[in-house]
Amino acid sequence: MESCLTHVRIRWVILFAGALTLGYLLAGAHVSPKSIGESDFTSFYGAATLLREGHGAGIYNPALQESMHAALVFPDRIGNLPFVDPPAAAAILVPLTLLPLDVAYHVWGMFEFALLLLAVLIVVRSAPWPSSTPHRWKDAAVLAAMAGAGTYGVVVEAQWTPFLALGLALAYRQWRSGKLASGAFVLVLAAGLTKPHLALVLGAFLLGWRDRRLLGGALAGAVTAVLANVAVAGPQGLTGFIHLAVTSQSQWALSTYSSFVSLPALAFGHSSATYVVTGVAALIACAVGWWLGSAVRHRNGRLEVALASAAVLSLLAAPHALVHDTSMLAPVAVWMFAWAASRTSTDLATRPSVGAVGAAWFVITAAGLVSMITVAVPLGWVVATTLVVVATLGSIVSLAPIRQTPSMLRIAVPTHH
């Protein structure tokens, strides 16, 4: 039974999270033309325009990119923002190039917000909520997830990450119902078309799960993504994307990244030592991701926490990840709230697991917002440190021996012994 105090707390969560999300939308609606020119969206729009004009692989030509960017932001003089996403991402944006830059920016930002909301709603309907869970708890989970700092980054930068969040949400829904192949297909395809660098550990997680259906779906998704990218810009365009994605990392201050790279950068700056330490950390994260997948293979009741941990580690292992990329964790937050609610206790609010998940999401959000507000002082490492702590705790819970799996957490996937 829900206590009166719990009801009051949930009401305040709904009000606060709703107000914060509304604030994000208002901030996005009032972005100045100069800020739009400085946003990541301008590089997306420029690449899509080059593609519409028939340049194909030329969308990764630095000279063409710089010329297009300068024309788009004129009379402002803003340094070029290179387009470092897959060719298919540019193709998705081609229809918006028929609109003026500022109009296209607002349309795309709201579209991305809608995609993120759709991802969260898919998960709230698929997650293992106890049958006695009040509807306001689910409403609170949706609003809390949407109030994450990543949502603000998505709205003000008109970023891509909600595509990956939607792929992750759909994969989770399919896996909960035992459809391993289709879940892996949609996750790999979503990553391959927009942000493959954010899915490194998620890929290791799939390999660790070691199910033929899962791996078959993942392979089909990867092949489809590669063929789509080649169809858009040819083999040369795909090569140009890989080259630019690898070499462009040093164009931004590493301390602004919300991934492993920002931590050694505090001590070593832009040096070989930083990249070596980051590479080792990414390999360790992939190894842990494989282990998490293996844990789900043998006990499917671990899916929620193990997949959440793999998603956080995947964000950390990315060579290029900023605060807006934490929006991929919005659907993760929802299924973790549902998982926490399934722990045994009379009052939902008294369950330590609920408090732990809520605290983790609050700290991630607070760290992200602080790092975005204090632009003059790069604090991406604060977000990275927070994610490291959350991923470590989640991995410990995922891999620890458990005696019994609550029935509502069991999914329709056969365990392997």
Tell me the DSSP string of 349-408.
GG-HHHHHHHHHHHHHHHHHHHHHH-TTS--HHHHHHHHHHHHHHHHHHHHS--S---GG
In DSSP notation, 56-100 reads GGGGG-HHHHHHHHHHHHTTS--------S-HHHHHHHGGGGGS-
State the sign of the Cα–Cα–Cα–Cα dihedral 190, 195, 196, 200: negative
How many Cα atoms occupy the beta-carbon half-sphere of 265 within 13 Å? 25
Poorest-pLDDT segment among 341-345, 371-375, 377-381, 382-386: 341-345
387 pLDDT more than 50:
yes
Tell me which range, 13-17, 29-33, 240-244, 338-342, is most confidently predicted by mean pLDDT: 13-17
Question: What is the arithmetic mean of pLDDT over 184-207?
Answer: 96
How far is 285 from 281, CA to CA, in rounded Å?
6
N-term to C-term CA, the chain: 38
Q: Does an H or E element contain 249, and which? A: none
| Structure tokens that stand for 342 in this block | 């399934």
Contact 378, 256 (CB under 8 A): yes
- pLDDT score for 212: 94
- pLDDT score for 82: 82
351 pLDDT more than 70:
no
127 pLDDT more than 90:
yes
- pLDDT score for 415: 47
Measured from the Cβ of residue 86, the count of other Cβ atoms closer than 10 Å reads: 27
**DSSP 8-state class, residue 132:** T
Q: What is the pLDDT of residues 92-116, one digit of tens each?
A: 999 999 999 999 999 999 999 999 9
- pLDDT score for 250: 63
**Closest C-alpha to 211, from 294, 292, 306:** 294
Question: What is the arithmetic mean of pLDDT over 195-207?
Answer: 95
Residue 16 makes CB contacts below 8 A (sequence gap 6+) with 147
Q: Angle at CA 341, nearest 5°, toward 337 and 342?
A: 120
Every domain of the chain and the residues it spans: 7-32+110-409
Q: What is the pLDDT of residues 255-294, one digit of tens each?
A: 889 999 999 998 888 888 999 999 999 999 999 999 999 9
405 pLDDT more than 50:
no
Question: What is the arithmetic mean of pLDDT over 290-310?
Answer: 92
Instruction: Calculate the CA dihedral of residues 333, 338, 339, 341 and round it to 10 degrees.
Output: 120
Q: What is the pLDDT of residues 45-76, one digit of tens each?
A: 999 999 999 988 889 888 888 889 888 888 77
- pLDDT score for 300: 73
How far is 33 from 78, CA to CA, in rounded Å?
12
251 pLDDT more than 70:
no
Q: pLDDT grade, residue 1 (50/70/90)?
A: very low
Percentage of the chain modeled with pLDDT above 90: 60
| Structure tokens that stand for 133 in this block | 């869970």
Report the predicted TM-score, pTM, of the whole model to 2 decimal places: 0.90
Q: pLDDT grade, residue 301 (50/70/90)?
A: confident
Q: Mean pLDDT for the chain?
A: 88
Helices (H), 194-271: 200-209, 212-247, 262-268
- pLDDT score for 408: 44
Query: Locate tokens 């070499």: which residue?
Result: 247
How far is 175 from 329, CA to CA, in rounded Å?
17
Q: What is the pLDDT of residues 215-234, one digit of tens each?
A: 999 999 999 999 999 999 99
In DSSP notation, 275-330 reads HHHHHHHHHHHHHHHHHHHHHHHH-GGGHHHHHHHHHHHHHHH-SS--GGGGGGGH
How far is 135 from 314, CA to CA, in rounded Å?
31
Better-predicted residue by pLDDT, 259 or 417: 259
